[in-house]
Amino acid sequence: MNNHLQIKSITYFNKQYRVYIKNQQEHHKHVSFQDELRRLLKEQGIEVNEKYFP
């Protein structure tokens, strides 16, 4: 991968993360942090142990 493509990719993902973080307060009005964490863990194939969730 050339450096120009790497920089464009990093810039794109940084911009996406900034938007994601900026919208967290509104997002969590609809999806709880716990539900989002469960979803992210399951997407990565990580078993969710409910005893760690309130």
What six digits make up the tokens of 36?
A: 């989002």
Q: Where are the domains of the chain?
A: 3-52
CA distance 34 to 45: 17
Measured in degrees and rounded to the nearest 5, phi and psi for residue 30 equal -110, -30
Answer whether 0.75 is exceeded by the pTM. Answer: no
pLDDT digits (tens, 9 = 90+) for 1-54: 566 556 556 676 677 777 777 877 777 788 888 888 898 899 999 999 999 887
In tens, the pLDDT along 17-32 reads 777 778 777 777 888 8
